[in-house]
Amino acid sequence: MAELMGSWKRDKLCAEVTEQDIGKELTLMGWVARVRNMGGILFVWLRDRSGMIQLVFDANHMDGKTYELAESLRSEYVLAVKGSVIMRDASAVNQQLKTGTIEVQVKEAKLLNESATPPIYTDDSVNENEAVRLKYRYLDLRRPSMQNMLMLRSKTINAIRLHMINSGFVEVETPIMTKSTPEGARDFLVPSRLHPKKFYALPQSPQIYKQLLMLAGLDRYFQFAKCFRDEDSRADRQPEFTQLDLEMSFVEPKDVQDTVEGAFKAVFKEIKGLEIKLPLPRMTWKEAMVSYGSDKPDLRFGLKITEHSEWAADCGFSIFESAVKNNGIVCAIKVDGAGANLSRKDMDALGEFVKTYHVKGLAWLAVNEDGSYRSSFAKFIPEEKMSVLLEILQAKPTDAIFLIADQKLTALNAMGQLRVKLGKQLNLIDATKDQLLWITEFPLLEWNEETKRYTAAHHPFTMPMEEDFDLLDTHPEMVRAKSYDLVYNGVEMGSGSIRIHASELQERMFNWLGFTHEEAWERFGFLLEAFRYGTPPHGGFAFGIDRLMMLLTGTDSLRDVIAFPKVQNASCLMMDTPSLVHEEQLTQLHLKTLK
């Protein structure tokens, strides 16, 4: 039977008790983690979020009723005890526990609550099925690893908030029930009871609000913002996630980047005890694509891509030659020492791998110890021409060389994917490194083959680079944006840009994106109107807190760093959401579901 706490007041968390407390009488409360009954003496581990402490129930030191209570204890019962802290015998010291040199000699106890037998273990020793863990998430969160993660997340948010406040930012909350924002995903919609047939959209980000806050004169805004994007499920996506969202007035990219870098520095110091060197390195999008085949290059290892179109133009191998003739490229990476380790079968598997990135195939060459080589393509090319290539690439015995020929971005992207695969497969990545870098000057627009229209590469509020203004009407695809991404160990942490702050340019931008004057005003009229009233130059950034936590805790699942996550099909196994609602609710919302 559950008892009330009455006048008992907890003195400390379980693992906060130390040798300094020896001789003191303390009141402790927590969950029963483990019971060992030695007959006449009972050892109980009491647990809370701080850790555990051993309680000793000795039949000779307490009344019969208390000992009886101790004998009834089961895992996860909620217990309060009063007792004195004593030193353990040297032979009984437990190095695994933070409180392993001490224990509490119990005098009185209250059973605050019983517990049914939990469907999952609440310690970290057992690997439970994830679906069951998520169904009983409240029990799963009792596991020390999950509690540590939540405490670490709180500390991380705190470090960031402190940095932002100290840098002169104002924290402002923006609405969750809003209008669609153009981050490029599908919206979650909320039907309106008061306005039949009308819907609110959940924000994909507070983008428009934060720009309006700059117009309002807030100067520096930040928020830990919940964002909602109805995207098709992917392992590393959640339909709702948290971003640190910020915006600043009268700034250039470097000012925004400095603020974001400062936040990362604060987090790395607080959480990992590491000093990151600032400013972080910067690389243009073009350089990243050409040298690493990715707009989020992992620089913890080499394998730089090199281009050999000039050599390939008349190399004798028709596949290479025609790629170059059709304005494509031939690019390569060289992997020191890999020639000796990769078999023919490995090469074939890598060939299949690159084909999934829309290139026709992979040409490879492995230099043997004696300088001779095995190759998938050398037989098509005269020997002297091959020697030239090997010389350009400075190939040595045991090196492996991979070549891809295709349209420029297709070839580079496939090569970039191959680079990362080889980096992992051949253990070339230094996992102890923390590599942060900025990628800058992204293309402003992307061509969408399906809609035969340009779309904004970042979002439609991004400012083109002044140097490229003239290209906007003639070569829109060549225009670079004042945008920047922060990349950490090959993962995109966030993006931002300097924004367009003039109404006319913003409207022209909407036109480039295919909106007519009327459409632009219908969707974004409030913004175009607002921009007429003295909008300061401004820019900002947002980065994913969940993704940051993933990297800080070294897990590869977003679900591990969110207290109550959704699974791949966007449902919550614990609350069983989404769920059906009463017919009456639908009627109030003027909705009918199709049978």
Residue type at 18? T
Nearer to ligand ASP, 288 or 463 (CB): 463
Nearer to ligand ASP, 76 or 245 (CB): 245
Distances (CA, A) of 570 to 188, 242, 386: 12, 16, 53
List all residues 6 or more positions away from 540 whose beta carbon is below 8 Å from its beta carbon. Answer: 210, 211, 221, 245, 246, 247, 248, 256, 496, 497, 499
**Smallest distance from the beta carbon of 459 to ligand ASP, in angstroms?**
6
Task: Render the burial of 25-56: b for 16+ CB within 10 Å, e for the rest.
Answer: ebbbbbbbbebeeeeeebbbbbbbbbbbbbbb
Please, how many CA atoms are within 13 Å of residue 203, restricted to the half-sphere of its CB? 19
Question: By the 8 A CB rule, do 243 and 225 touch?
Answer: yes
Task: Return phi, psi of residue 54, to 5°.
Answer: -90, 130
Task: Return phi, psi of residue 378, to 5°.
Answer: -60, -30
Nearer to ligand ASP, 66 or 204 (CB): 204
**Smallest distance from the beta carbon of 554 to ligand ASP, in angstroms?**
25
**Smallest distance from the beta carbon of 197 to ligand ASP, in angstroms?**
29
Nearer to ligand ASP, 203 or 351 (CB): 203
DSSP state of 273: -
Nearer to ligand ASP, 443 or 540 (CB): 540
Question: By the 8 A CB rule, do 191 and 590 touch?
Answer: yes
The 3-state DSSP class for residue 576 equals: coil
**Smallest distance from the beta carbon of 259 to ligand ASP, in angstroms?**
12
Nearer to ligand ASP, 30 or 253 (CB): 253
Question: By the 8 A CB rule, do 205 and 542 touch?
Answer: yes
**Smallest distance from the beta carbon of 497 to ligand ASP, in angstroms?**
5
Distances (CA, A) of 382 to 24, 285, 312, 315, 412: 88, 36, 12, 8, 26
**Smallest distance from the beta carbon of 184 to ligand ASP, in angstroms?**
9
The 3-state DSSP class for residue 220 equals: strand
Nearest to 203 by CA among 234, 182, 218: 182
Q: Return residues touching ligand ASP (CB under 6 A).
A: 183, 205, 207, 495-497, 540-542
**Smallest distance from the beta carbon of 260 to ligand ASP, in angstroms?**
10
**Smallest distance from the beta carbon of 508 to ligand ASP, in angstroms?**
19
**Smallest distance from the beta carbon of 463 to ligand ASP, in angstroms?**
11
Nearer to ligand ASP, 54 or 243 (CB): 243
Nearer to ligand ASP, 57 or 222 (CB): 222
Nearest to 12 by CA among 49, 60, 45: 49
Q: Cα(510)–Cα(525) distance, rounded to whole angstroms?
A: 11
Nearer to ligand ASP, 259 or 497 (CB): 497
